[in-house]
Amino acid sequence: MGLNLNDKKAVVAEVSAKVATAQTIVVAEYRGIQVAHLTQLRAKARAQGVYLRVLKNTLARRSVEGTQFAGLADSMTGPLIYSISDDAVAAAKVIADFAKTNDKLVITAGNYAGKQLDKAAVAALASIPSREVLISQLLGVMLAPVSGFARGLAALAAKKSEGAPAVAEVAAEEAPAAA
């Protein structure tokens, strides 16, 4: 049974609210995927903070109308699942990772910050590490000089402390001979 007008308006309002804060939308065709696999995909998306929904294409077109994602309207044909995320790479990563294990999920298009993406561009976006990984890599790069300097000082202090007893022994041996 189809949706009545009020239900359609509610769906458009809900999706429009998600689109308003989104950075990325990825569209994929899900024809032939079993319900159990779609349930797994939804669970992965939920864990990554990605809004994943199967929508009527006319409702999706109305949801992106007048936004930076309006260019996706041309790609909205066929049975599609929409992946929407506030994180720049999360939507692409969830869909691309699932498409690797399930060949029936076919990425058709995407949009990142108003720029249209084809299948290859979505895969490239998905290969970017997550925000947390990028931050940890940046901090590692920033801490490398400081930690290297600290290791150098520790090695210098260890070398001096190794040489100090030897110098003290030589001084003790020379002191009685001089007396």
pLDDT in tens, 46-75: 998 899 988 888 898 898 888 888 888 888
pLDDT of residue 177: 52
pLDDT of residue 65: 87
pLDDT of residue 33: 87
pLDDT in tens, 11-36: 889 988 888 888 899 999 988 888 99
pLDDT in tens, 115-143: 888 888 888 888 888 778 888 988 988 98
How do 24-29 and 115-117 pair as beta strands? unpaired
Q: Which of 172, 164, 72 is nearest to 122 (CA)?
A: 72
| Residue that has been written with the tokens 């940046």 in this structure | 138
Q: What is the DSSP letter of 55?
A: -
Report the chain's mean pLDDT, rounded to a whole number. Answer: 84
**Where along the chain do its domains lie?**
3-127, 129-159
State both tokens at 111: 């949009």
Domain 3-127 in this protein, CATH class? alpha beta
On whether the CB atoms of residues 26 and 110 are closer than 8 A, the answer is yes
